[in-house]
Amino acid sequence: MAPVEQIDVRPPKGVRPPIIGPGQTLGTVTDRIAGIVLTKHTPMFWILIVALAAAIFGMLQTAIGYLLAKGVGIWGINIPVGWGFAIVNFVWWIGIGHAGTLISAILLLFKQSWRTSINRFAEAMTIFAVMQAGLFPLIHTGRPWLAAYWLFPLPLTMGVWPQFRSPLIWDVFAVSTYFTVSFLFWAIGLIPDFATLRDSAKTLVVRRIYGMLAMGWRGSARHWNRYETAYMLLAGLATPLVLSVHSVVSLDFAVSVVPGWHTTFFPPYFVAGAIYSGFAMVLMLAIPFRYLYGMQDFITLRHLQNCGKLMLATGQIVAYSYAMEMFIGWYSQDKYELAMVNNRLHGPYSHYYYMLILCNILIPQSLWFNSVRSSPAKLFLVSVVVNTGMWLERFVIVVMSLQRDYIPSSWGMYWFTKWDMAIFIGTMGFFTLLFFIFIRLMPAISIFEMRTLLPQAKVKE
Amino acid sequence: MTAGPIYGLMAEFETPTELVEAAKGAYAAGYRKMDTYTPYPLEEAAEAIGAHHNRVSLIVLIGALLGMIGGYSLEYWVSVVNYPINVGGKPFHSWPAFIPVTFECAVLGASLAAVFGMLALNGLPQPYHPVFNSPNFVRASRDRFFLCIESQDPRFSPSDTRKLLESFNPEEITEVPY
Amino acid sequence: MSNKNDSNLNLVSVGEIKPASLELDAVRKKLAEAKGPKYWRTLEELSNQQAFGELLEREFPRQASEWVDPVSRRSFLKLAGASMALAGLAGCTKQPLEEILPYVRQPEQLIPGKPIFFATAMPFHGHALPLLVETHEFRPTKVEGNPQHAASMGATDLFAQASILDLYDPDRSTVLTHMGEGRPWGEFVLALNAEAAAQKATQGAGLRFLTGAISSPALAWQMKAVQRLYPQAKWHRWEPVNRDSARAGSKLAFGGYYDALYKFDAADVVVSLDADFLSGSWFPGFVRYARDFMRRRKLDKGNEMNRLYVAESSPSTTGGKADHRLVLRPSEVDSLARYLASKLGVAAQGGHLSDQQQKWADAVAADLLQHKGKCLVVPGEFQSPAVHALAHAMNAALGNVGQTVTYIDSVEADPVEHGQSVRELVADMNAGKVETLIILGGNPVFNAPVDLEFDKALAKLKLGVQLSIYKNETTDHVHWHVPEAHYLETWSDVRSYDGTASVVQPMIAPLYDGRSAHELLAIFTDQAGVSPYDLVQTYWKSQHPTVDFEAWWRRALHDGFVAGSAAPARSVTAKLGALPPAAQTDPNAIEISFRPDPTIYDGSFINNAWLQETPKPLSRTTWDNVAMISPGMARNWKLSQIDDQNDHQSDAQRILKIDFQGRKVEAPYWAQPGHPENTITLFLGYGQTRTGRVGTGTGYDAYKVRPASAQYIGSGAKVEVTDRYWSLAVTQGHFSMDDREPVKVATLAEFIKNRNFAHENLEEEPQDKTGHPESLYPDFKYSQGNTYYQQYAWGMAIDLNSCIGCQTCAVACQSENNIPIVGKEQVQRGREMQWLRIDAYYEGDAANPAVYFQPVPCMQCENAPCEPVCPVGATLHSTEGLNDMVYNRCVGTRYCSNNCPYKVRRFNFFLFSDYDTPSLKLGRNPDVTVRSRGVMEKCTYCVQRITAARIASEKDERRIRDGEIKTACQQACPTEAITFGDINDKNSAVARIRNTPRNYQLLAELNTRPRTTYIAAVRNPNPKLESGTEKA
User: pLDDT tens digits, residue range A127-186?
Assistant: 999 999 999 999 999 999 998 889 899 888 888 899 999 999 999 999 999 999 999 999
The chain B residue lying nearest C787, using CA atoms, is: B86
Please report which confidence band the pLDDT of residue A13 belongs to, taking 50, 70 and 90 as the band edges: low
* pLDDT attached to residue A294: 82
Kindly state the average pLDDT of the residues A432-456.
89
* pLDDT attached to residue C84: 38
Kindly state the average pLDDT of the residues B64-73.
95
Kindly state the average pLDDT of the residues C130-151.
91
Inter-chain CB proximity B127 and A153 less than 8 Å = no
Judged by a CB distance cut-off of 8 A, whether residue A73 touches chain C is yes
Please report which confidence band the pLDDT of residue C780 belongs to, taking 50, 70 and 90 as the band edges: confident
Contacts of A263 (CB under 8 A, 6+ apart): A253, A254, A269, A325, A328
ipTM value of the model? 0.90
* pLDDT attached to residue C705: 94
* pLDDT attached to residue A77: 93
**Cα separations in angstroms, C392 against B7, C219, C279, C350:** 123, 31, 21, 18
* pLDDT attached to residue A12: 53
Q: In 3D, which of B55, B146, B62 has the Cα closest to residue B112?
A: B62
Question: How many whole angstroms separate alpha carbon B133 and alpha carbon B140?
Answer: 12
Nearest Cβ partner for C777 among B85, B86, B91 = B91
Kindly state the average pLDDT of the residues B73-97.
90
* pLDDT attached to residue C143: 94
Q: Helix, strand, coil shares of chain A as percentages rounded to 5?
A: 75, 0, 25
Please report which confidence band the pLDDT of residue B159 belongs to, taking 50, 70 and 90 as the band edges: confident
Q: In 3D, which of C755, C753, C762 has the Cα closest to residue C1016?
A: C755
A99-125: burial string, b at 16+ Cβ within 10 Å, e else: bbbbbbbbbbeeeeebbbbbbbbbbbb
Beta carbon pairs, A and C, within 8 Å: 183
Judged by a CB distance cut-off of 8 A, whether residue C897 touches chain A is yes
* pLDDT attached to residue B139: 85
Contacts of C925 (CB under 8 A, 6+ apart): C136, C141, C142, C815, C816, C817, C818, C944
C8, C740, C909, best to mutate vs chain A, most A CBs in 10 Å: C909
User: Is C608 within 8 Å of C600 (Cβ atoms)?
Assistant: yes
Q: Is the pLDDT of residue C897 over 70?
A: yes
Kindly state the average pLDDT of the residues C368-397.
92
Q: Is the pLDDT of residue C647 over 60?
A: no
Inter-chain CB proximity B96 and C866 less than 8 Å = no
Q: What stretches of C462-586 adopt beta strand conformation (E)?
A: 463-468, 480-483, 492-495, 501-504, 569-570
Contacts 24+ apart (CB under 8 A), A153-162: A153/B74, A153/B78, A159/B82, A159/B83, A160/B83, A160/C872, A160/C873, A160/C889, A161/B78, A161/B79, A161/B82, A161/B83, A161/C873, A162/B78, A162/C871, A162/C872, A162/C873
Instruction: For residue range A332-347, list pLDDT tens digits in order.
Output: 888 899 999 999 998 8
Inter-chain CB proximity C876 and B91 less than 8 Å = no
Kindly state the average pLDDT of the residues A63-72.
93
Planar angle of CA C860, C154, C265, nearest 5 degrees: 100
Half-sphere exposure in the Cβ direction for A319 (13 Å, CA): 16
Q: Is the dihedral of CA C163, C169, C174, C180 positive or negative?
A: negative
Question: How many whole angstroms separate alpha carbon A123 and alpha carbon A73?
Answer: 35
Q: Which percentage of chain C shows pLDDT scores above 70?
A: 85
Q: Is the pLDDT of residue A4 over 80?
A: no
Name which residue leads in pLDDT, C949 or A298: C949
Inter-chain CB proximity A460 and B17 less than 8 Å = yes
Question: How many whole angstroms separate alpha carbon C435 and alpha carbon C204?
Answer: 9
User: Is C697 within 8 Å of C726 (Cβ atoms)?
Assistant: no
Name which residue leads in pLDDT, A321 or C65: A321
* pLDDT attached to residue C641: 57
Q: Is the pLDDT of residue C979 over 50?
A: yes
Residues written for chain B: 178
**C851: region left, alpha or beta (phi > 0 left; psi from -120 to 50 alpha):** beta
Q: Is the pLDDT of residue C618 over 70?
A: yes
Judged by a CB distance cut-off of 8 A, whether residue C618 touches chain A is no
* pLDDT attached to residue C92: 46
Contacts 24+ apart (CB under 8 A), C219-228: C219/C413, C219/C492, C219/C493, C219/C517, C219/C518, C219/C521, C220/C413, C220/C414, C221/C539, C221/C542, C222/C518, C222/C521, C222/C522, C222/C525, C222/C535, C222/C539, C223/C413, C223/C414, C223/C521, C225/C525, C226/C521, C226/C524, C226/C525
* pLDDT attached to residue C770: 67
Kindly state the average pLDDT of the residues A399-420.
90
Judged by a CB distance cut-off of 8 A, whether residue A449 touches chain B is yes
| DSSP assignment of C591-627 | EEEEEEBTTTBTTTTTT-HHHHHSPPTTT-EESS--E
Q: Is the pLDDT of residue C26 over 70?
A: no
Nearest Cβ partner for A237 among B107, B121, B132 = B107
* pLDDT attached to residue C98: 63
C547, with CB counted inside 10 A (0-12, 13-18, 19+), is: exposed
Nearest Cβ partner for C872 among A71, A74, A163 = A163
* Closest chain B C-alpha to C773 CA, distance in angstroms: 13
Q: Which amino acid is at C724?
A: R
* pLDDT attached to residue A364: 92
Q: Is the pLDDT of residue C32 over 60?
A: no
* Closest chain C C-alpha to A170 CA, distance in angstroms: 9
A220, A246, A446, A454, best to mutate vs chain B, most B CBs in 10 Å: A220
List the chains bordering chain A where 3 or more Cβ pairs fall under 8 Å: B, C
Q: Is the pLDDT of residue B51 over 50?
A: yes
Inter-chain CB proximity C788 and B86 less than 8 Å = yes
Contact list, B129 vs chain A (CB under 8 Å): 216, 218
Planar angle of CA C906, C877, C778, nearest 5 degrees: 120
* pLDDT attached to residue C1026: 63
Q: Mean pLDDT, chain C, as a whole number?
A: 84
Judged by a CB distance cut-off of 8 A, whether residue C864 touches chain B is yes
C99-127: burial string, b at 16+ Cβ within 10 Å, e else: ebbbbeeeeeebeeeebbbbbbbbbbbbb
Question: How many whole angstroms separate alpha carbon A140 and alpha carbon A147?
Answer: 10
* pLDDT attached to residue A261: 92
Contacts of C193 (CB under 8 A, 6+ apart): C523, C528
User: Is A88 within 8 Å of A398 (Cβ atoms)?
Assistant: yes
DSSP C484: B
Q: Is the pLDDT of residue C885 over 50?
A: yes
* pLDDT attached to residue C103: 52
Q: Is C144 helix (H, G, I), strand (E, B) or coil?
A: strand
Please report which confidence band the pLDDT of residue C758 belongs to, taking 50, 70 and 90 as the band edges: confident
Please report which confidence band the pLDDT of residue B31 belongs to, taking 50, 70 and 90 as the band edges: confident
Q: Is the pLDDT of residue A392 over 90?
A: yes
pLDDT-wise least confident of A97-101, C403-407, C442-446: A97-101
Q: Is the pLDDT of residue C80 over 60?
A: no
* pLDDT attached to residue C942: 94
Q: Mean pLDDT, chain A, as a whole number?
A: 88
List the chains bordering chain B where 3 or more Cβ pairs fall under 8 Å: A, C
Inter-chain CB proximity A215 and B119 less than 8 Å = yes
Question: How many whole angstroms separate alpha carbon A192 and alpha carbon A214?
Answer: 7
**Cα separations in angstroms, A377 against A5, A359, A373, A405, C517:** 17, 17, 9, 43, 85
Kindly state the average pLDDT of the residues C1000-1021.
91
Half-sphere exposure in the Cβ direction for B61 (13 Å, CA): 4
The chain C residue lying nearest A253, using CA atoms, is: C899
Name which residue leads in pLDDT, A401 or C24: A401
Q: Which amino acid is at C814?
A: Q
Name which residue leads in pLDDT, C28 or C653: C653
User: Is C965 within 8 Å of C946 (Cβ atoms)?
Assistant: yes
C215, with CB counted inside 10 A (0-12, 13-18, 19+), is: buried
